[in-house]
Amino acid sequence: MKALPLVVAVASAVSMACAGTQTVENDAGFLADGVQLEFSQTVTISSADPRLPHGYPAHAARSFWFYGWPVAPGETIALSWHPAAAALIGVWWIPWEEAVPLPAPGRLDDFEDGDLRSELGAEWVAVTYGSDGPPPPLRVLRDNAGAHLALETVSSGSLSVALEVSPLDVSGYAGVYVRMASAVPANVAVELMARDPCCCDGYRFENAARPAAVSQEITEYRFPLDAFTAEPGHCPEASAPVLRARLIHLALFVTAAEVGTLRVYEIGFYAAPND
Protein backbone atom coordinates (compact mmCIF):
# COMPACT_ATOMS: atom_id res chain seq x y z
CA MET A 1 0.00 0.00 0.00
CA LYS A 2 1.29 3.37 -0.95
CA ALA A 3 2.11 5.78 1.86
CA LEU A 4 -0.50 8.39 1.33
CA PRO A 5 -0.56 12.09 1.87
CA LEU A 6 -3.76 12.27 3.86
CA VAL A 7 -4.37 15.86 3.22
CA VAL A 8 -7.77 17.22 3.97
CA ALA A 9 -10.41 15.63 6.12
CA VAL A 10 -13.75 16.51 4.66
CA ALA A 11 -17.18 15.68 5.99
CA SER A 12 -18.60 15.17 2.54
CA ALA A 13 -22.06 15.81 1.26
CA VAL A 14 -23.42 12.30 1.24
CA SER A 15 -26.78 11.40 -0.18
CA MET A 16 -28.59 8.16 0.36
CA ALA A 17 -29.67 6.48 -2.88
CA CYS A 18 -30.77 3.19 -1.30
CA ALA A 19 -29.66 1.00 1.55
CA GLY A 20 -25.96 0.28 1.40
CA THR A 21 -25.42 2.55 -1.61
CA GLN A 22 -24.31 6.15 -1.55
CA THR A 23 -23.05 8.83 -3.84
CA VAL A 24 -20.18 10.84 -2.46
CA GLU A 25 -19.40 14.31 -3.74
CA ASN A 26 -15.87 15.60 -4.12
CA ASP A 27 -16.35 18.74 -2.06
CA ALA A 28 -12.65 18.97 -1.17
CA GLY A 29 -12.04 21.83 -3.58
CA PHE A 30 -9.28 20.10 -5.51
CA LEU A 31 -8.92 17.53 -8.29
CA ALA A 32 -8.65 14.10 -6.67
CA ASP A 33 -7.71 10.69 -8.01
CA GLY A 34 -8.33 8.78 -4.82
CA VAL A 35 -10.45 8.75 -1.74
CA GLN A 36 -10.23 7.14 1.68
CA LEU A 37 -13.50 6.03 3.20
CA GLU A 38 -14.24 4.92 6.73
CA PHE A 39 -17.32 3.02 7.85
CA SER A 40 -19.01 2.67 11.24
CA GLN A 41 -18.42 -1.08 11.16
CA THR A 42 -16.66 -3.70 9.04
CA VAL A 43 -18.11 -3.87 5.53
CA THR A 44 -17.52 -5.61 2.22
CA ILE A 45 -17.52 -3.34 -0.82
CA SER A 46 -19.98 -4.79 -3.33
CA SER A 47 -19.44 -2.24 -6.08
CA ALA A 48 -17.03 0.64 -6.59
CA ASP A 49 -17.36 3.62 -8.89
CA PRO A 50 -15.94 3.01 -12.41
CA ARG A 51 -13.79 6.08 -12.02
CA LEU A 52 -12.16 4.91 -8.78
CA PRO A 53 -12.30 1.17 -9.43
CA HIS A 54 -9.31 0.05 -7.40
CA GLY A 55 -10.17 -0.55 -3.78
CA TYR A 56 -7.76 -1.54 -1.02
CA PRO A 57 -8.01 -3.74 0.88
CA ALA A 58 -9.97 -6.25 -1.19
CA HIS A 59 -11.33 -7.97 1.93
CA ALA A 60 -13.81 -6.78 4.55
CA ALA A 61 -12.59 -3.78 6.55
CA ARG A 62 -13.69 -0.51 8.10
CA SER A 63 -11.36 1.69 6.10
CA PHE A 64 -10.67 1.60 2.33
CA TRP A 65 -8.69 3.48 -0.30
CA PHE A 66 -9.94 3.83 -3.85
CA TYR A 67 -7.90 5.05 -6.83
CA GLY A 68 -8.47 5.66 -10.48
CA TRP A 69 -9.34 8.58 -12.71
CA PRO A 70 -9.37 12.16 -11.56
CA VAL A 71 -12.61 13.32 -9.95
CA ALA A 72 -13.16 17.06 -10.28
CA PRO A 73 -14.58 19.19 -7.47
CA GLY A 74 -18.36 18.87 -7.47
CA GLU A 75 -18.38 15.50 -9.22
CA THR A 76 -19.70 12.42 -7.45
CA ILE A 77 -18.79 8.76 -7.19
CA ALA A 78 -21.14 5.93 -6.23
CA LEU A 79 -20.42 2.81 -4.26
CA SER A 80 -22.29 0.13 -2.36
CA TRP A 81 -21.48 -2.23 0.48
CA HIS A 82 -22.76 -4.88 2.88
CA PRO A 83 -24.19 -4.80 5.42
CA ALA A 84 -26.45 -1.90 4.57
CA ALA A 85 -26.69 -0.93 8.24
CA ALA A 86 -23.09 0.30 8.20
CA ALA A 87 -22.75 4.06 7.82
CA LEU A 88 -20.08 5.94 5.93
CA ILE A 89 -18.55 8.11 8.66
CA GLY A 90 -15.41 9.56 7.07
CA VAL A 91 -14.38 10.74 3.59
CA TRP A 92 -10.86 11.97 2.77
CA TRP A 93 -10.19 12.94 -0.83
CA ILE A 94 -6.63 12.37 -2.06
CA PRO A 95 -5.36 15.08 -4.39
CA TRP A 96 -4.11 14.33 -7.86
CA GLU A 97 -0.39 15.08 -7.80
CA GLU A 98 1.80 16.45 -10.53
CA ALA A 99 4.62 14.05 -11.35
CA VAL A 100 8.11 15.24 -10.40
CA PRO A 101 11.01 14.39 -12.73
CA LEU A 102 13.57 12.03 -11.20
CA PRO A 103 16.74 14.14 -10.87
CA ALA A 104 19.96 13.02 -12.58
CA PRO A 105 21.80 10.72 -12.29
CA GLY A 106 18.69 8.70 -11.48
CA ARG A 107 19.99 6.84 -8.45
CA LEU A 108 17.29 5.74 -6.00
CA ASP A 109 19.63 4.42 -3.32
CA ASP A 110 23.19 3.25 -2.72
CA PHE A 111 22.60 2.60 1.00
CA GLU A 112 25.77 4.50 1.89
CA ASP A 113 23.92 6.52 4.53
CA GLY A 114 23.18 3.27 6.36
CA ASP A 115 19.41 3.51 6.51
CA LEU A 116 16.37 2.24 4.61
CA ARG A 117 15.36 5.68 3.40
CA SER A 118 15.86 6.11 -0.34
CA GLU A 119 17.10 9.27 -1.99
CA LEU A 120 13.45 10.10 -2.74
CA GLY A 121 12.63 10.03 0.97
CA ALA A 122 10.40 6.95 0.83
CA GLU A 123 11.58 3.83 2.67
CA TRP A 124 12.24 0.35 1.32
CA VAL A 125 9.69 -2.14 2.64
CA ALA A 126 9.73 -5.94 2.42
CA VAL A 127 6.60 -7.93 1.60
CA THR A 128 6.19 -11.71 1.26
CA TYR A 129 3.81 -13.50 -1.09
CA GLY A 130 2.65 -17.09 -0.87
CA SER A 131 4.45 -17.89 2.36
CA ASP A 132 3.35 -17.63 5.94
CA GLY A 133 4.72 -15.31 8.54
CA PRO A 134 6.04 -11.79 8.46
CA PRO A 135 8.66 -10.74 5.91
CA PRO A 136 12.27 -11.00 7.07
CA PRO A 137 13.70 -7.73 8.34
CA LEU A 138 15.55 -5.51 5.90
CA ARG A 139 18.99 -4.44 7.04
CA VAL A 140 21.61 -2.10 5.66
CA LEU A 141 25.05 -3.67 6.12
CA ARG A 142 28.54 -2.97 4.90
CA ASP A 143 31.19 -5.29 3.49
CA ASN A 144 34.40 -4.87 1.48
CA ALA A 145 32.37 -3.88 -1.57
CA GLY A 146 30.42 -1.20 0.27
CA ALA A 147 27.05 -0.57 1.87
CA HIS A 148 24.16 -2.73 0.75
CA LEU A 149 20.61 -3.71 1.47
CA ALA A 150 20.72 -7.24 2.92
CA LEU A 151 17.69 -9.39 2.37
CA GLU A 152 17.15 -12.96 3.60
CA THR A 153 15.45 -14.92 0.83
CA VAL A 154 12.56 -17.24 1.63
CA SER A 155 12.48 -20.85 0.44
CA SER A 156 8.78 -20.84 -0.47
CA GLY A 157 6.72 -18.18 -2.16
CA SER A 158 8.44 -14.97 -3.07
CA LEU A 159 9.55 -11.76 -1.54
CA SER A 160 9.47 -8.21 -2.73
CA VAL A 161 11.32 -5.13 -1.64
CA ALA A 162 9.24 -2.15 -2.60
CA LEU A 163 9.47 1.60 -2.74
CA GLU A 164 6.24 3.61 -2.94
CA VAL A 165 6.73 7.16 -4.15
CA SER A 166 4.76 10.21 -5.12
CA PRO A 167 4.23 10.27 -8.89
CA LEU A 168 7.64 10.31 -10.52
CA ASP A 169 8.46 11.23 -14.10
CA VAL A 170 11.16 8.85 -15.37
CA SER A 171 10.60 9.57 -19.06
CA GLY A 172 14.19 10.78 -19.35
CA TYR A 173 15.49 7.31 -18.49
CA ALA A 174 15.91 4.10 -20.45
CA GLY A 175 15.58 1.54 -17.70
CA VAL A 176 16.22 0.32 -14.17
CA TYR A 177 19.62 -0.93 -13.02
CA VAL A 178 20.28 -3.03 -9.93
CA ARG A 179 23.80 -3.81 -8.73
CA MET A 180 23.49 -6.92 -6.62
CA ALA A 181 24.81 -10.35 -5.65
CA SER A 182 23.25 -13.38 -4.03
CA ALA A 183 24.73 -16.12 -1.87
CA VAL A 184 22.07 -18.57 -3.10
CA PRO A 185 20.52 -19.00 -6.55
CA ALA A 186 17.88 -16.29 -6.83
CA ASN A 187 15.84 -14.69 -9.57
CA VAL A 188 15.04 -11.01 -9.34
CA ALA A 189 12.44 -9.25 -11.47
CA VAL A 190 11.53 -5.60 -11.31
CA GLU A 191 7.92 -4.59 -10.84
CA LEU A 192 6.79 -1.10 -11.75
CA MET A 193 3.42 0.53 -11.29
CA ALA A 194 2.02 3.77 -12.61
CA ARG A 195 -0.75 5.81 -11.13
CA ASP A 196 -2.48 6.35 -14.37
CA PRO A 197 -5.22 8.90 -14.89
CA CYS A 198 -5.36 8.23 -18.64
CA CYS A 199 -5.77 4.49 -18.53
CA CYS A 200 -9.31 3.17 -18.33
CA ASP A 201 -8.31 0.87 -15.55
CA GLY A 202 -6.51 3.33 -13.31
CA TYR A 203 -3.70 1.61 -11.47
CA ARG A 204 -1.52 -0.53 -13.62
CA PHE A 205 1.11 -3.14 -12.88
CA GLU A 206 3.94 -3.81 -15.23
CA ASN A 207 6.34 -6.65 -14.70
CA ALA A 208 9.67 -7.34 -16.27
CA ALA A 209 9.29 -10.29 -18.59
CA ARG A 210 12.77 -11.58 -17.88
CA PRO A 211 13.99 -11.88 -14.31
CA ALA A 212 17.73 -11.77 -13.68
CA ALA A 213 19.42 -14.92 -12.38
CA VAL A 214 21.58 -13.23 -9.76
CA SER A 215 25.23 -14.23 -9.58
CA GLN A 216 27.35 -14.63 -6.44
CA GLU A 217 29.59 -11.91 -7.90
CA ILE A 218 28.39 -8.32 -7.70
CA THR A 219 26.87 -7.59 -11.10
CA GLU A 220 24.83 -4.75 -12.54
CA TYR A 221 21.59 -6.03 -14.03
CA ARG A 222 19.54 -3.86 -16.37
CA PHE A 223 15.81 -3.88 -16.95
CA PRO A 224 14.94 -1.68 -19.98
CA LEU A 225 11.64 0.15 -19.67
CA ASP A 226 10.82 -0.99 -23.21
CA ALA A 227 10.77 -4.58 -21.97
CA PHE A 228 7.98 -3.93 -19.47
CA THR A 229 4.51 -4.86 -20.56
CA ALA A 230 1.10 -3.99 -19.20
CA GLU A 231 -0.41 -6.65 -17.01
CA PRO A 232 -2.96 -8.48 -19.21
CA GLY A 233 -6.43 -7.08 -18.92
CA HIS A 234 -5.33 -3.97 -17.12
CA CYS A 235 -4.40 -1.40 -19.70
CA PRO A 236 -4.12 -0.91 -23.44
CA GLU A 237 -0.58 -1.23 -24.67
CA ALA A 238 -0.81 2.19 -26.31
CA SER A 239 -0.67 3.87 -22.91
CA ALA A 240 2.77 2.48 -22.06
CA PRO A 241 4.32 5.99 -22.00
CA VAL A 242 2.23 6.68 -18.92
CA LEU A 243 4.42 4.27 -16.99
CA ARG A 244 7.32 6.63 -17.53
CA ALA A 245 5.30 9.71 -16.73
CA ARG A 246 3.65 8.72 -13.44
CA LEU A 247 5.61 5.98 -11.73
CA ILE A 248 4.49 5.37 -8.14
CA HIS A 249 5.91 1.96 -7.24
CA LEU A 250 9.11 0.06 -7.86
CA ALA A 251 9.82 -3.34 -6.38
CA LEU A 252 12.40 -6.09 -6.64
CA PHE A 253 10.55 -9.38 -6.86
CA VAL A 254 12.78 -12.12 -5.46
CA THR A 255 12.30 -15.87 -5.79
CA ALA A 256 14.80 -18.38 -4.44
CA ALA A 257 14.73 -22.07 -3.62
CA GLU A 258 16.75 -21.70 -0.45
CA VAL A 259 17.35 -19.29 2.37
CA GLY A 260 20.33 -17.01 1.90
CA THR A 261 21.33 -13.40 1.67
CA LEU A 262 20.68 -11.24 -1.37
CA ARG A 263 22.75 -8.04 -1.34
CA VAL A 264 21.66 -4.94 -3.25
CA TYR A 265 24.43 -2.33 -3.53
CA GLU A 266 22.74 0.21 -5.73
CA ILE A 267 19.49 0.72 -7.57
CA GLY A 268 18.33 3.44 -9.90
CA PHE A 269 17.42 4.48 -13.41
CA TYR A 270 19.95 4.70 -16.24
CA ALA A 271 19.53 7.33 -18.92
CA ALA A 272 20.81 5.67 -22.08
CA PRO A 273 21.75 2.10 -22.97
CA ASN A 274 25.46 2.91 -22.87
CA ASP A 275 25.46 4.94 -19.64
Nearer to Ca ion, 161 or 208 (CB): 161
Q: What SS3 class is residue 185?
A: coil
Instruction: Report in angstroms how near the CB of residue 21 gets to Ca ion at its nearest.
Output: 46
Instruction: Report in angstroms how near the CB of residue 256 gets to Ca ion at its nearest.
Output: 24
Q: In this structure, are residues 155 and 258 in contact, taking their beta carbons and an 8 Å threshold?
A: yes
Which DSSP helix (H) or strand (E) runs through 14?
strand 14-18
The string over 94-121, giving b where at least 16 C-beta atoms fall within 10 Å of a residue's C-beta and e elsewhere, is: bbbeebeebeeebbbbbbeeeebebebe
* Whole-number Cα distances in Å, 214 to 40, 179, 185, 254: 48, 10, 7, 10
Instruction: Report in angstroms how near the CB of residue 4 gets to Ca ion at its nearest.
Output: 21
Nearer to Ca ion, 107 or 117 (CB): 117
Q: Round to whole Å and give the CA distance between 253 and 157.
A: 11
Instruction: Report in angstroms how near the CB of residue 106 gets to Ca ion at its nearest.
Output: 16
Which DSSP helix (H) or strand (E) runs through 245?
helix 241-245
Q: Which residues bind Ca ion (CB under 5 A)?
A: 113, 115, 117
Instruction: Report in angstroms how near the CB of residue 107 gets to Ca ion at its nearest.
Output: 11
Nearer to Ca ion, 113 or 258 (CB): 113
Nearer to Ca ion, 75 or 119 (CB): 119
Instruction: Report in angstroms how near the CB of residue 20 gets to Ca ion at its nearest.
Output: 46
Q: Round to whole Å and give the CA distance between 41 and 86.
A: 6
Nearer to Ca ion, 117 or 234 (CB): 117
Closest residue (Cβ) to Ca ion? 113
Bridge partners of 264? Answer: 149, 180
Q: Round to whole Å and give the CA distance between 91 and 64.
A: 10
Residues 6+ apart with CB under 8 A from 227: 175, 208, 209, 210
